[in-house]
A and B are shown apart, each in its own frame.
Chain A
């Protein structure tokens, strides 16, 4: 006789540790939904995933034209600088964008079958992560073409930086997906917020340009949790001469990342709790 599991369904159950266990037991579904999201994005298109490579290339051409030729930015190797920050930003913003609609977009399944619904926004993060790696090939191609040497010591920061983005994006996607069911404003609000957030992050301009103006209050620029991540990528891959990025030790970069990661984990735990609370009403509201 096999052990049978009790699955109680009452008004309120389990905290965030319970949800993590449930999500883990549905990892196969997470994997499949991620795959489906990628499959669907380019189903019936001739160029397929090449479109996701064309997107950063187009950005590259436009921004290079505007910033290098018109605004005369002084950043050397602007293409590599731009891509270093832009790709990781794209990962973050597309996770939030598609994660927000994840539950509404799958209403038909949510209403009919029980499974941990957190899996849906997480699949959006997963699909965005795969995209990030695809787009990273453009960056690697650029590094090879321009024979640009990365800062190998700083490259060792990147796994941590990537993990930080995954945690932040997951927390954001889980929260927004559930809130969006209750308030459809969320997706519109997110759209304009992400636009502002993009320009508040040192992606097309370098960090010191802002930090120098702020003087002693340059910590304000660090309040943006994505900034330390973007800086780590720029430090590692673009590796500019002194004066463009904060001239502090890699140890300091690591500390900043670790701090953001810690905050991100708290946010993730909070988002799982919030999701649990809203979860019981999701099917009623859809």
Chain B
């Protein structure tokens, strides 16, 4: 079934930016008719649909209108022109813990915030234990929330929203909170929603995350859609757009010669982008680079590092016997790993391009891809050596 759950039709939101805010009648009278302001469209003529049960990600740089669009869908902002319709019970995670009052206890807040989200007292009561358990706040539920840490605040917020049982869920950049374990838990929950047929609209900066979990991506730039569709292609468009804007470059990227540009670094599993690697499963590292001209003896290399910067493993096309010479415009390269025998944690991949003898560095992107690895086996350190203990 693919009827539309969210339909956005030619939506524009115009904000007036006043040089100063004149809020009092006196000030308004003094500046009557000549309050200096300029207008700008935070989003301009946006149209797309989200079909029922699918997940659409919205990508864009800061100020591209992502959040404005989401607020319009949520109904907290009213579009200046156009129409948005949403079918089904909607929950918006515009900010985790919005609606929580610091003076009230966790328990009191769940009932209050629950009713803001449209739950009845009975519905909150029925979910109460699940929510508290999910948030891992069993011991603090009767503590005033002003004594909570920001992580605890956000955890309770997500736990509540996760238990609203929405048919349509709007998520704005909320997964950036909490520790790693909780982020994974949130992602799991989002996957469960996805399996349960919840329609989701997901705003994020994290291209890899978006590409890995969304069915479709919408890329915004200055309030306009520049790409919409297949997550992999849209993510590449997004990266190309970022590169085009020199002021917002990739983290720590240097391209001394501009001969070679690395536009996308992604991890894939079973032909889908991922941001969490399972240590026992096959993983592909996909690198897309653009060239101005064919480069003789071009080598593309990668280095897998711990978050603290220690090298774990590195290799390159030359060592692995792939010749990149003679390829004209775009290189779409894949390194296939049979498994990833590392211990659980976060890792980074640096990617670079250099000449065969190493004398010329064309480009290097440090921290091009950061990923989380899950591994059930125990141990400390980095490498997962298969080991058994026994008494002799």
Residues of A within 8 A of B (CB): 4-11, 26, 28-29, 31-33, 36, 39-40, 43-44, 108-115, 182-185, 279-281, 283-284
Known contacts A6-B87, A8-B84, A43-B103, A32 near B72 by CB under 8 Å:
no
A44 to B104 alpha-carbon distance, docked (Å): 11
User: What are 6 A-B interface contacts by the 8 Å CB criterion?
Assistant: A9-B72, A40-B104, A112-B76, A184-B24, A185-B25, A279-B78
* Residue pair A184, B23 in contact (C-beta under 8 Å): yes
Check A9 against B79 for contact (C-beta < 8 Å): yes
The distance in angstroms between the C-alpha atoms of A165 and B275, with both chains bound, is 60
Task: List residues of chain A with CB within 8 A of the CB of B339.
Answer: none
Most chain B CB within 10 A, of A4, A9, A284, is at A9
Size of the B side of the interface (Cβ < 8 Å), in residues, is 44
Chain A to chain B: the 10 pairs with minimum beta-carbon distance, closest first: A114-B75, A112-B98, A280-B78, A29-B115, A112-B94, A32-B115, A28-B115, A184-B23, A8-B85, A4-B87
Q: Are A113 and B94 in contact (CB under 8 A)?
A: yes
| Whole-angstrom distance between the Cβ of A224 and the nearest chain B Cβ | 25
Q: A4-B87, A9-B79 are contacts. A32–B111 as well, Cβ < 8 Å?
A: yes
CB distance from B171 to the nearest CB of A (A): 13
Does B77 count as interface, using CB distance less than 8 angstroms?
Answer: yes
Residue of A nearest to B52 (CB): A4
Determine the chain A residues whose CB is within 8 A of the CB of B79 once the complex forms: 9-11
Cβ of A258 to closest chain B Cβ, rounded Å: 35
What's the least CB distance linking A108 to chain B, in Å?
6
Q: Which residue of B lies closest to A189 (CB)?
A: B25
Task: Give the contacting residue for A10; candidates B84, B90, B118; CB below 8 A.
Answer: B84
B240 within 8 A of A: no
Alpha-carbon gap, A195 to B75, bound state (A): 38
B113-148 with Cβ < 8 A to chain A:
115-121
Complex contacts, A284 vs chain B, CB 8 Å: 15, 77
Residues of B within 8 A of A280 (CB): 78
* Extra A-B contacts (14), CB below 8 Å, given A108-B98, A183-B28: A4-B88, A6-B86, A7-B90, A9-B85, A10-B78, A10-B79, A11-B78, A36-B104, A36-B108, A39-B103, A112-B98, A113-B92, A185-B23, A281-B78
Question: Chain A residue with minimal CB distance to B121?
Answer: A28
In contact, B99 and A112 (Cβ under 8 angstroms): yes
Interface residue ranges of B20-38 to A (CB < 8 Å): 23-26, 28
In the complex, A44→B144 CA distance in Å? 11
Which parts of B69-107 form the interface with A (CB within 8 Å)?
Answer: 71-88, 90, 92, 94-95, 98-99, 101, 103-104
Q: CA–CA, A9 to B74, complex, Å?
A: 9
- Say yes or no: is B344 at the interface (Cβ < 8 Å to chain A): no
| B112 at the binding interface (Cβ < 8 Å) | yes
Q: Would you give the shortest CB distance from B259 to chain A, in whole angstroms? A: 47
Measured CB to CB, the closest approach of chain B to A97, in angstroms, equals 19
Q: Which residues of A contact B76 (CB under 8 A)?
A: 110-114, 283
Residues of B within 8 Å of A7, CB to CB, are: 75, 85-87, 90
**Residue B268 lies at the interface, judged by CB distance under 8 Å to chain A:** no
* Chain B proximity of A120: nearest CB distance (Å): 11
Question: Of B25, B99, B108, B116, which contacts A39 at CB under 8 A?
Answer: B108
Contacts of B71 in A (CB 8 A): 111, 283
> CA A112 – CA B95 in complex, angstroms?
7
In the bound complex, CA of A281 to CA of B26 (Å): 21
Whether A26 pairs with B118 at a CB distance below 8 angstroms is yes
Among B15, B78, B94, chain A packs the most CB atoms within 10 A around the CB of B78
Residues of A within 8 A of B167 (CB): 4
* A113 and B85 within 8 A (CB): no
User: Are the CB atoms of B104 and A39 closer together than 8 Å?
Assistant: yes
Whether A115 contacts B78 by the Cβ 8 Å rule is no
| Min distance, Cβ B306 to any Cβ of chain A, angstroms | 37
A43 to chain B, nearest CB (A): 5
Closest to B94 in A: A112
**A185 surroundings in chain B (CB, below 8 A):** 23-26
Checking B73, B88, B95 against A9 with a beta-carbon cut-off of 8 angstroms, the contacting residue is B73
In the complex, what distance in Å separates the CA atom of A183 from the CA atom of B23? 5
Q: How far is the CA of A155 from the CA of B84 in the complex (A)?
A: 52
Question: Closest Cβ of chain B: how far from A281's Cβ, in Å?
Answer: 8
Chain B residues positioned under 8 Å from A40 (CB to CB): 101, 103-104
Minimal Cβ-Cβ distance residue in B for A186: B25
**Docked CA distance A44–B87 (Å):** 43
Q: How far is the CA of A112 from the CA of B161 in the complex (A)?
A: 13
What's the nearest-Cβ distance from chain A to residue B352, in Å?
A: 42
- Give Cα A11 to B84, complex, Å: 10
Please give the distance in Å from B121's CB to the nearest CB on chain A: 6
**A31 to chain B: which residues have CB within 8 Å?**
115
Contact of B87 among A5, A29, A32, A182 (CB under 8 A): A5
Of residues 183 to 235 in B, which have CB atoms within 8 Å of A's CB atoms? none
Name which residue of chain A comes closest to B120, CB basis.
Answer: A28
A23 to B7, CA, bound (A): 25
- Chain A residues near B28 (CB-CB < 8 A): 183
Q: Across the interface, do B112 and A33 meet the contact criterion of CB distance under 8 Å?
A: yes
Kindly state the separation between the CA atoms of A8 and B79 in the bound complex, as whole angstroms. 11
Residues of chain A within 8 A (CB-CB) of B90 are 7
Closest to A188 in B: B24
Please name all residues of chain B whose beta carbon is closer than 8 Å to the beta carbon of A6 when the two chains form the complex.
Answer: 85-87
Residues of B within 8 A of A9 (CB): 72-73, 75, 78-79, 83-86
A114 to B76, CA, bound (A): 5
Report A7 CB to chain B, min CB distance, Å. 5
CA A281 – CA B16 in complex, angstroms? 11
Selected contact of A109 from candidates B25, B82, B116, CB within 8 Å: B116
| B23 cross-chain contacts in A, Cβ below 8 A | 182-185
Q: Determine how close the nearest CB of chain A comes to the CB of B274; give it in whole angstroms.
A: 31
How far is it, in angstroms, between the C-alpha of A5 and the C-alpha of B90 when the chains are bound? 10
With A9-B84, A185-B25 as contacts: A113 and B117 at CB distance below 8 Å: yes
- CB-CB < 8 A to A44: which residues of B? 103
Please give the distance in Å from A93's CB to the nearest CB on chain B: 22
Among B24, B75, B94, B103, which residue has its beta carbon within 8 angstroms of that of A183? B24
Q: Which residue of A lies closest to B109 (CB)?
A: A36
